[in-house]
Amino acid sequence: MSLHNPLISVLLSMYNDEKYIQQSIYSLIQQTYKNWELIAIDDGSQDNTYKLVKQITDPRIKIYRQKNHGLTRSLNIAASYAKGDFLARQDSDDISLPKRFERQMDLFRENSDYFIVGSDLAFINEKDEIVETRTCARNKFQAIQKLGQLSAPFGHGSIMLRKSAFDKINGYDESYPVSQDFDLLLRLSQLDGEMGSVPEILYKWRVHPDSVTSNKWWFQLVQAVKAHKNVRRIHPKAFCKKNFVKFIFTKLFVGFSYIMFSPQAFYHYRMAAKSFNEGNLTMVNKYYKHANKTSRIKLPSNILPLIARAMKLKHDW
């Protein structure tokens, strides 16, 4: 481990993340691969986030405070401080499993033409329980096919990429307040070389009511229109108009559900329906009760089977 010459620079932006930030950073400290630095940007937090991070005594952690600039600009600022040849992402409420960096670095060593490596994901709830898993693209061809469907081929927090590739495309496009990961991956897909992922779950992506805001869906919808034009220009053969229409419909459905119920209620109704599909009636009742506590409009319980059936038809809301 070298404090002066870390091979990996981890980019992390924090904003009012006191609930999960220490758990997220400790998951980095527990990595079996030790030669990394953490560039943690406190993006104008109003809670105890900064204080909690300062309590962690590890010389590899560098903390910077600033006024609120948003995630995209904060990540570019973090990258400007990076000393490593590789950049890894970590979100402030997520968890990297202990062998994440080791496995990703192994893949880079075995494949000199790789410029980005992801991993499979597990989605977890507020109690760290796994609620869903996802397999990511294994190569550039699969990644481009995903991009053509307006779907990110890798989970943003799970990626590690060569800093030279990041610099070659001039980092994140700050005109994207959301969906900056999709735009980054789309532009990276134009580079020579290969994209890949470790075929095992190395990253836990937390899904919880507080991570869903009532206005984010609208920004994502606007950015999707912009992104689809770029996909059609860069990868016209991979683009599918049907997928674009489906994506727009899904965002509108989710957005109007936030308005009708509330982001928190929609999350719990969705989890209740998912539990129904899995035959877990105990969790159905639990999520249904939570939903009705925060919902502007109470859904009768006999609606849940219909939602569950719709989820089977459309797997990824």
Task: Output the CATH code of domain 8-211.
Answer: 3.90.550.10
Asked whether the predicted pLDDT for residue 262 surpasses 90, the reply is no
Rounded CA-CA distance 187/171 in Å is 10
Residues of the chain with CATH 3.90.550.10: 8-211
Asked whether the predicted pLDDT for residue 73 surpasses 80, the reply is yes
pLDDT band (50, 70, 90) for residue 316: very low
Residue whose tokens read 């469907």: 149
Mean pLDDT for all residues in the chain? 89
**pTM to 2 decimal places:** 0.86
pLDDT band (50, 70, 90) for residue 210: low
Rounded CA-CA distance 153/274 in Å is 23
Distance of alpha carbon 68 from the chain centroid? 20
CB 205 within 8 A of CB 228: no
Over pLDDT 90: what percentage of the chain?
A: 58
pLDDT band (50, 70, 90) for residue 120: very high
5-24 per-position pLDDT tens digit? 999 999 999 999 999 999 99
Contacts of 202 (CB under 8 A, 6+ apart): 96, 97, 99, 100, 103, 104, 119, 120, 158
88-100 per-position pLDDT tens digit? 999 999 999 999 9
29-57 per-position pLDDT tens digit? 999 999 999 999 999 999 999 999 999 99
pLDDT band (50, 70, 90) for residue 214: very low
Here the tokens at position 172 are 């994140």
Residue 246's pLDDT is 77
CB 87 within 8 A of CB 79: yes
